[in-house]
Structure 1
Amino acid sequence: MVLVNGIAYPGELLAIMGSSGAGKTTLLNTLMFKSSPSLIVSGYTALNGFPVSSGTLSSLSAYVQQDDLFIGTLTVKEHLVFQALVRMDRHIPYRKRMQRVEQVIAELALSSCQNTTIGIPGRIKGLSGGEMKRLSFASEVLTDPPLMFCDEPTSGLDSFMAQNVVSVMKAMANKGKTVVSTIHQPSSEVFSLFDKVLLMAEGHVAFLGSTDEACTFFKQ
């Protein structure tokens, strides 16, 4: 990547797009201080205009990975209770943690499947792909971070499920969070849910602006 820069504001859903090998995941990993040790990086990541360290960013952000990692024999609620016990601040009382679990289940539309076993593909029947991805988001928002990074959250989902997942991301942005996500070949309906797009091409930023501006720009 060369001379890559950009900005995302609270309340915005930003898509990082580009063809395979354009640098989307490399950029996302660099922003989160997760790039390969062999990669030489210059520059900085800033929050509210101030450069931040890996530790500071980690305490203020959440990361929804492309691959969902769960203990398949747990139910949705059991998983979230476990996450609340190990990830939320140790000074938060148990009752408050359980209230937060119930709140997140409602916010992520997981009420109907909260007692469903997560499942193991090919072995234990469980959640659908869309439900699995919503559970990934639920796990990360338990601590109510102001900043979220998502790596290809619609990968492997059909168009309906993909739109459902990005709608969840949009709802989070509407609550004041800054949501930054890589995404590959979104449908027009999914694309319209994003506020801004950063288009990568051969390691460079080809475009950064609103989705409306992007449509106008590429019509020229």
Structure 2
Amino acid sequence: MVNNRWNKTQTQYEAASEHYDRAYFTDQGRHGLLRGQANAWKFEPYLKDGMEILDFGCGDGALLTVLGGKNGVEINPHAAEAARARGLTVHALIDEYPDNAFDAVISNHCVEHVEDPARQIREMRRVLKEDGILIIVVPCDQTSYPYREADRDFHLYSWSAANLGNLVKTCGFDIVEATELKHRWPPKWPLIIQYGGLPLFHVASRIWARLSRKSSQVRCIARAKT
């Protein structure tokens, strides 16, 4: 039974993983930990020192490293290789982690890529300790976003605060909040961080999100039901 579950999940993950090659993650990793620093604000206020953190869809491990975590889930071998090079423990599937192992599970722009998000969120509940915290951030694509054969993002789902919150609730969580985040990285964002610092970067990102009107993000914060 466990093997059948593992094989089914692996097949679903691999379908998404095949869309992203080494070149994609090489491009993602060009700015090193800057990407992690640029994303950390969505999670840091809800995490405490000493927490055991799992990052679902950890990519090259930049965000997890910035947040002080050590464990990730990443099906793409190129990204997982980069994360392990940072000294992180990375498994291809969340199924490989034991029950009640983590104080917090985070996920940044990953759940929109998996074929069965409800199943993965239930797995996040399984590996969380009682009253553990879940923080999921996903993009919210506009309905006008056209289909493209060579779609680099390859999102399988788009979200509102309402349907993400409802989904997480049905998977064994009490919702703390589910809200839209108006924050979109502007052009030349690495230079803004380098020369202006993170505070200026975040101001510029909020302004750019309102000016571009192309997409936003949704964040759901929830506690594992006891």
Shorter-chain TM-score: which interval? 0.3 to 0.5
Bigger relative CO (Cα 8 Å, ≥ 6 apart):
1
TM-score (norm 2): 0.32
TM-score (norm 1): 0.33
Q: Which has the higher strand share?
A: 2
